[in-house]
């Protein structure tokens, strides 16, 4: 999945020592290039994409408005050439007119008149009723006579038209390539800040109706071909198309496919592959990989086709949707297990605000506080099998009074919806727990092992954006060996309780903020987020997008602080989407 992961082990007060690898995460990722050959090979081997992102018309319309904000910032920094002209005025003859310091101070675009059409292989973006304000200094001379002043020009009825395509690059990052563009303004009006005769107004109007207007249109057209695509491509370049988890021999590779319907789909082909072990040799050094990893081979969890029709994907009301197959998580967990990475140590003195001592374990190991009062505890937790994740199918719709049972059952459920059932995702874990007492051995150095437990944990949850609702939890502990009394039921109840208290930590927004790190994350936010099963092992997340900081810079959001709700475009989108923009990525 595009993004990065970081190692994390957390503890909840009271039952903190028991939250083992539930809160452990994969190592932080480093971005690597994904050559086109590797993408093609991954697609050929895997057959079906395991991740898809659907970008709809509203997202493209909003993106065009934000791109025009980049155009605005670019034009404010543009320096237009000076203009010198001689204008023939009746009775006066030739008057020399000079225009200096021409600056575009404002460019306004009506978001309701900004559109992008998704065509066969191309995108056609257009904006109408564009207005621009230009300030300038002017001067005239006729022999020894002359005068000067300032003025302002209003260009109205402008149209901006650009055709572009999105091309996959060898390094994996897509690039926006402009094909053609055109800029034109229909009307102009002039305001002069000086006492002037009618002939001067007409002279300057003549200059602006020709040379200066053409210069402004040419500057905007040049920005559409250079500055705007460059700003968009700089943002695209921050999105990793391939990443490798440090210390682990598997990676994920993504390719891009464009559907020429009412939406665009980005398909991701994810690979989790252990490299081949070196051939045995008497002279060769032992392999660096653990034997079980070298023999593991490819991930055994295949993907299946996304069971949604183009009408269902394109008909979703949100700007974009992410669909992920449970094979993505299963392959990552499988690779981590075979790399020996699913293990953690929790020791007294390493957890801020919590002492991990024998007195805390009185209900779990009754004799331990008596035998070793206030001694530190060391917990060593390791997975004994690859964890598995399963995404449930959508629940059938309830019969409607206006529909028969069969018709109601056949009614399509909106992809990405959330029924709040609390059990759309099932997780199963098997792990061992070794409990040792610190400073209790004869020499006082090595920890003294007092119990070894085997555990199986399964739970179902609905992972929403703002909260996770944990449903059924089943934890089972068994004693493998112990030198003191152990209460397995107490361990089981404690982990069940701790898991049910972790809903806020397991919310998708919290997991995104904690584990997914990309340079683009501070620049955009998601709001009106819904999640839910899509069927066939797929799960969907649909959301509207808000640009908190325009891609081209310019000091943050439209108000300079990035908190304007994404400008007029986002406000218009929110008006039809059930509430004001609420950024969720920080």
Q: Calculate mean pLDDT across residues 336-349.
A: 85
**pTM for this entry:** 0.61
Q: Lowest mean pLDDT of 229-243, 473-487, 560-574, name the range.
A: 560-574
Look at residue 373 and tell me whether its pLDDT is greater than 80. Answer: yes
Look at residue 584 and tell me whether its pLDDT is greater than 50. Answer: no
d(CA 578, CA 105): 35
d(CA 552, CA 235): 9
Predicted confidence at residue 163, as pLDDT, reads 83
d(CA 496, CA 45): 40
Q: Calculate mean pLDDT across residues 443-465.
A: 89
Give yes or no for a contact between 476 and 494, defined as CB atoms under 8 angstroms apart: no
Give yes or no for a contact between 515 and 471, defined as CB atoms under 8 angstroms apart: no
- Residue 279: is it exposed, middle or buried by C-beta count within 10 angstroms (0-12/13-18/19+)? exposed
Q: What does the buried/exposed string (b/e) look like for 390-399 if buried means 16 or more CB atoms within 10 Å of the residue's CB?
A: ebbebeeeee
φ/ψ region of 160 (left if φ > 0, alpha if ψ in -120 to 50, else beta) reads beta
Look at residue 115 and tell me whether its pLDDT is greater than 80. Answer: no
Angle between helices 213-225 and 57-76 (to 10 degrees): 130
φ and ψ at 366, to 5 degrees? -55, -35
Look at residues 119, 65, 70 and name the one whose alpha carbon lies nearest to residue 232.
Answer: 70
Percent of the chain at pLDDT above 70? 59
Percent of the chain at pLDDT above 90? 17
For residue 347, give both structure tokens.
């020791």
Give yes or no for a contact between 512 and 399, defined as CB atoms under 8 angstroms apart: no
Q: Are strands 524-535 and 425-437 parallel, antiparallel or unpaired?
A: unpaired
Look at residue 143 and tell me whether its pLDDT is greater than 60. Answer: yes
Element (H or E) spanning 167, and its range?
strand 145-167
Q: Which CATH class is domain 69-231?
A: alpha beta
Angle between helices 57-76 and 567-575 (to 10 degrees): 160
Residues of the chain with CATH 3.15.10.10: 69-231
Look at residue 160 and tell me whether its pLDDT is greater than 70. Answer: yes
Handedness of CA 118, 124, 130, 132 (dihedral sign): positive
φ/ψ region of 522 (left if φ > 0, alpha if ψ in -120 to 50, else beta) reads alpha
d(CA 462, CA 155): 54
pLDDT per residue as tens digits for the range 184-205: 888 877 777 655 555 666 666 7
Look at residue 427 and tell me whether its pLDDT is greater than 90. Answer: yes
Q: What does the buried/exposed string (b/e) look like for 477-500 if buried means 16 or more CB atoms within 10 Å of the residue's CB?
A: beeeeeebebbbebbbbbbbbbbe
Give yes or no for a contact between 97 and 103, defined as CB atoms under 8 angstroms apart: no
Helix (H, G, I), strand (E, B) or coil at 556: coil
Element (H or E) spanning 137, and its range?
strand 123-142
d(CA 401, CA 408): 9
Look at residue 85 and tell me whether its pLDDT is greater than 70. Answer: yes
């Amino acid at each position: 999945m595009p993004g990065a992961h970081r190692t994390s082990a957390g503890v909840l007060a009271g039952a903190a020592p028991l939250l083992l690898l539930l809160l452990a995460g994969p190592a932080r990722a480093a971005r690597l290039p994904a050559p086109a050959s590797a993408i093609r090979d991954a697609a050929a081997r895997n057959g079906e994409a395991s991740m898809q992102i659907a970008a709809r018309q509203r997202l493209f319309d909003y993106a065009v408005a934000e791109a025009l904000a980049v155009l605005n910032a670019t034009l404010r920094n543009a320096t237009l050439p000076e203009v010198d002209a001689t204008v023939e005025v009746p009775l006066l003859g030739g008057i020399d007119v000079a225009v200096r310091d021409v600056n575009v101070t404002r460019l306004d675009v009506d978001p309701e008149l900004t559109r992008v059409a998704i065509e066969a292989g191309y995108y056609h973006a257009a904006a109408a009723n564009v207005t621009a304000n230009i300030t300038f200094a002017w001067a005239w001379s006729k022999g020894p006579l002359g005068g000067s002043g300032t003025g302002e020009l209003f260009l109205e009825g402008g149209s901006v038209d650009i055709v572009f395509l999105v091309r996959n690059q060898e390094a994996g990052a897509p690039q926006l390539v402009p094909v053609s563009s055109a800029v034109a303004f229909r009307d102009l009006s002039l305001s002069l800040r000086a006492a002037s005769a009618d002939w001067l107004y007409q002279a300057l109007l003549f200059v602006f109706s020709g040379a200066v207007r053409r210069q402004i249109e040419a500057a905007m057209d040049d920005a559409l071909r250079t500055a705007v695509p460059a700003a968009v491509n700089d943002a695209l370049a921050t999105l990793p198309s391939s990443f490798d988890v440090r210390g682990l021999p598997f990676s994920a590779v993504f390719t891009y496919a464009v559907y020429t319907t009412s939406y665009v789909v980005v398909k991701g082909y994810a690979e989790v592959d252990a490299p081949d072990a070196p051939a045995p040799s008497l002279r060769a050094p032992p392999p660096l990989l653990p034997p079980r990893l070298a023999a593991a081979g490819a991930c055994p969890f295949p993907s299946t086709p996304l069971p949604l029709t183009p009408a269902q994907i394109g008909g979703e009301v949100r700007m974009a949707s992410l669909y992920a197959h449970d094979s993505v998580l299963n392959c990552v967990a499988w690779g981590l297990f075979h790399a020996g990475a699913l293990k953690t140590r929790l020791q007294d003195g390493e957890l801020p605000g919590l002492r991990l001592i024998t007195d805390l374990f009185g209900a779990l190991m009754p004799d331990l506080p008596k035998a070793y009062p206030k001694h530190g505890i060391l917990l060593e937790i390791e997975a004994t099998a690859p964890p598995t994740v399963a995404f449930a199918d959508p629940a059938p719709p309830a019969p409607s009074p206006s529909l028969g049972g069969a018709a109601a059952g056949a009614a399509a459920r909106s992809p990405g919806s959330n029924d709040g059932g609390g059990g759309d995702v099932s997780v199963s874990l098997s792990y061992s727990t070794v409990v040792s007492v610190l400073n209790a051995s004869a020499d006082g150095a090595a920890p003294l092992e007092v119990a070894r437990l085997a555990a199986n944990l399964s739970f179902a949850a609905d992972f929403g954006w703002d909260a996770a609702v944990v449903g059924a939890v089943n934890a089972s502990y068994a004693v493998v060996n112990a030198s003191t009394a152990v209460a397995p039921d107490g361990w089981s109840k404690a982990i069940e309780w701790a898991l049910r208290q972790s809903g806020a930590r397991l919310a998708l927004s919290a997991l995104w903020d904690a584990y997914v790190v990309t340079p683009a994350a501070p620049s955009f936010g998601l709001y009106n987020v819904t999640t839910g099963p899509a069927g066939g092992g797929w799960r969907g997340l649909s959301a509207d997008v808000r640009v908190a900081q325009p891609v081209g810079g310019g000091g943050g959001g439209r108000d300079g602080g990035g908190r304007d709700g994404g400008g007029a475009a986002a406000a218009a989108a929110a008006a039809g989407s059930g509430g004001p923009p609420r950024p969720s990525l920080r």
